[in-house]
Structure 1
Amino acid sequence: MTAQRRRGLRPLAAALAVLPGVLVLASCGSGEPKSDGSSSASGPSASGSRTASPGSAAQCGKAATVRASGSTAQHHAMRFWIRNFEKRCHGTRIDYEASGSGAGQADFLGGRTAFAGSDSALRPAQAARAKKACGKGGRAVHLPMLGGPIAVAYNLPGVDKLVLDGRTLARIFDGRITKWNDPAIAKLNPKADLPATPVKAVHRSDASGTTDNFTAYLHAAAPDDWRHPHGQKWPAEGGTAAGGSSELAGEVKQTRGAVGYVELAYALGRTLPTAAIDTGAAAPVGATVVNASKALAGAKTTGSGDDLVLDLDHTTKAAGAYPIAMVTYEIVCDKGNKAATWPATRAFLNYTAGAEGQQDLSFQGYATLPAKVMDKVRAKLKDLS
């Protein structure tokens, strides 16, 4: 990173609340998506010759407008990637709408976008539909692009540190723990002065990969207490619903006694405290980039054939491994991608998966995926058409 870029990042980094051990969000521009969920990353497209910055490995391909949509979890990283890519590749515009993983999958399966950003893999029925969307004998493949912790953010004045575990979280979000001084919470926090404030759990209202990953954690970590399946739609009754990560973080911020699950970057952007998780390890584990990376290091590829779906161990007890982690994918066709935009699409994905794109993730509050995983992603991109 150049000295000029470092100087540009310092003011925003200083403005954000820094939690111990966390690499904070320091992206260019606003820390929140626009209210309509769309990306503000793409500036006006310049016309003219196709150029790349000196020493850059980016291959720009043919000028095009690439439309994509999906995950709000990756919105901050996507904005940063787009800004840098468009500076290199004049004439190409990456139009990414941060509409939620479910909406992104629907757009991709409907043939409306070149790729989808999603925090969860396509279901078997969706994969079957993707064959029609791809055409030419193609199918959808998942390219894991970044990872990070799902933080449990809360609003409880006077309680600066909070420890929760899988069982307690399951009962909170299922409406069975209704006061913050409940004995189950008190047992995990013997030194905290817990008030009798009502617990107000906040969940996503839209089809969300963050919800899928959070409920997958509850299902794995507390199978006897979480009686619902995991999926993109919130399965339990009660609580307060909020559309998108930004709205959920805002709801927690303005509601005393609230607790919600949200990507770390959004919790930091709203200066929300986050709970440490008692995993059974020697000490509770905080929601930090470093701790999420430790959990992601154990991820295994489980996709059929040469697909790259990752399986995370939500029950890990490894020291310092934060268990509520997630992976965001870019979903494309292995063949049959839109001919007019595919060269630019692949160029952009090559940039995001490349050394510079992955290195920049540390300045966004995201966890880097294991090198062996990203090697597979870069190799896979060479085979797509």
Structure 2
Amino acid sequence: MKTKRHGAVVGLIAAGALLLTACGSDNNAGSGAPTNTSGVPVECGGKTKLNAEGSSAQKNAIDTFIQAYQQRCPGSDLAYNASGSGTGVKNFNAGQVDFGGSDSALSKDKGEVEAAAKRCATNPAWHLPLVFGPVAIGYKLNGVQDLVLNGDVTAKIFNGGIKKWNDPAIKALNSSATLPDKDITVVYRSDESGTTDNFQKYLKIASKGAWTQGDGKQFKGGVGEGKEKSAGVAQAAGSVDGAITYVELSFAQENKLSLAKLDNGSGPVELTSESVGKAIDGAKIKGEGNDLVLDLDSIYGSTTAGAYPLLLATYEIVCSKGYDADTAKAIRAFLTVAATDGQAGLADAGYAPVPKSFQDKLLTAIKAIA
């Protein structure tokens, strides 16, 4: 597969970038063996073609991982269906795929944690955060290329409290811009999406009360038009003057959307390598042991100067135990490559590589999958 290139984000390897310094030898090393660029050994073999499904936000990252996996483990492959986080979780829990991809953790209240344990032969599922990506607030507004928003105003746009681009609240944040008397067209994800869940969690925290609709994988703002998947919302927003949406950076770039700066209380912050790195540095783990669930609330509500506070972490949801031996071996190999060699290509695909602070924990968890 060919990885989609996004030159504008090559610099995303920043403070939160993965610095692979581990020593070791490739178990497959020998005459003609693929180059081990990370120094981390990979035990290839087992099931020759894995199946996974879920988050469309991480599709380009998975493509990058597959390329690295095929190079490190010739003859091995993975098929990934970017059906959305909700479908990925459902089909993982139903045992239809080997692992799922989701932009938010399994919900205990919805029975997802229990269902996953049942699927994993009464063993818990683990969340492995292998893909970090900033969520852009992308818009198309002729004549306006430099727009500042904050949590309060963004919440009111996406729940219908602000309907015009020249609303006084938007003007107050953009005194030097000429804002048109034009209706705002909100475009949201109509399918269940971890991107939606993260965006609504950001609004709930960052708006300081302006967003009362709650969170979850279904959009609850009550306004706008819905489109399926990340590509769908980005394409729709890019075709309408006056449109605004929330979408992963790579999709916003593909559709030539303008990107809003976010003011978290310490001044407008542009989506850059430095601002994403500062945000990732603030992420904390709230899961236990090898279940690496992240606590992103401190990021969404951060007032750290220069930090871009709106990002998501995509999890690969795996069984801690319960696989047959061939499947477990192949999953360990794929995820090891994804956490090491595969990270090197993520900046070109619009993502931020896994932070160093997560590298050792990821590899420890991956090694323990059985």
How do 1:63-74 and structure 2 match up within 5 A? 63-74=47-58
Q: How does 1:11-90 map to 2 (within 5 A)?
A: 18=8, 52-55=33-36, 57-90=41-74
1:104 maps to which residue? 88
Residues 275-354 of structure 1: matches in 2 within 5 Å? 275-281=260-266, 283-312=267-296, 313=298, 314-354=300-340
Structure 1 pair 289/324, CA: closer, same or farther in 2 (3 Å)? same
Note the 1:228-247 alignment, pairs <5 A.
228-247=213-232
Give the conservation status (yes or no) of the 8 Å contact 1:203–1:239.
Answer: yes
From 243, 250, 253, the counterpart of 2:235: 250
CA contact (8 A) 1:293 1:368 kept: no
Letter in 2 for 1:321: A
Q: 1:360-379 counterparts in 2 under 5 A?
A: 360-379=345-364
RMSD over aligned CA atoms reads: 2.1
Say whether the 8 Å CA contact 2:54–2:83 is kept in structure 1.
yes
Distance in 2 (CA, whole Å) between partners of 1:366 and 1:21 is: 10
Q: CA deviation at 1:19?
A: 7.7
Alpha-carbon distance in 2 for matches of 1:339, 1:19? 39
For residues 317-345 of structure 1, give each alpha carbon's deviation from its aligned partner in whole angstroms, at most 9, with x where no partner exists. Answer: 11211011111110101100244422111
The structure-2 alpha-carbon separation of the partners of 1:107 and 1:338, relative to structure 1 and needing over 3 Å to count, comes to: farther
Query: 2:68–2:337: 8 Å Cα contact kept in structure 1?
Result: no
Shift of 1:220: 0.5
Q: Give the C-alpha shift of residue 214 in structure 1.
A: 0.2
CA distance in 1 between partners of 2:119 and 2:97 (Å)? 10
Which residue in the other structure is 2:207 paired with? 222
TM-score (norm 1): 0.85
Could you tell me whether the CA contact under 8 Å between 2:343 and 2:353 is conserved in 1? yes
User: Counterpart of 2:157?
Assistant: 172
Matched, 1:160 2:145: yes
| Structure with greater contact order relative to length (CA < 8 Å, sep ≥ 6) | 2
Question: What's the % identity of the aligned pairs?
Answer: 41
Residue 41 (structure 1) aligns with = none
Instruction: Tell me if the contact between 2:54 and 2:86 (Cα under 8 Å) persists in the aligned partners.
Output: yes
3-state SS, counterpart of residue 341 of structure 1: helix
Classify the secondary structure of the residue corresponding to 2:269. Answer: coil
- Tell me by how many angstroms 1:21 deviates: 6.8
How far did 1:59 drift? 2.5
- Out of 231-240 and 192-201, give the one that drifted further: 231-240
Q: Which runs of 5+ in 1 are unaligned?
A: 1-7, 24-50
CA contact (8 A) 1:148 1:289 kept: no
Partner of 1:37: none
Q: Conserved in 2, the CA contact under 8 Å of 1:17 and 1:268? A: no
For 1:275 and 1:87, the matched residues in 2 are separated by 38
In the alignment, what sits opposite 2:19?
none
- Provide the TM-score with structure 2 as the length reference: 0.88
Task: Give the aligned residue type for 1:192.
Answer: A
CA contact (8 A) 2:140 2:242 kept: yes
Relative to structure 1, the CA distance from residue 194 to residue 81 in structure 2 (aligned partners, 3 Å threshold; closer, same or farther) is same
Q: List gaps (5 residues or longer) in structure 2.
A: 14-31
Q: Which residue, out of 91, 110, 113, partners 2:75?
A: 91
Judged with a 3 Å threshold, the aligned counterparts in structure 2 of structure 1 residues 306 and 59 are, in CA distance, closer, same or farther, namely: closer
Q: Distance in 1 between matches of 2:11 and 2:117?
A: 44
Shift of 1:17: 7.5
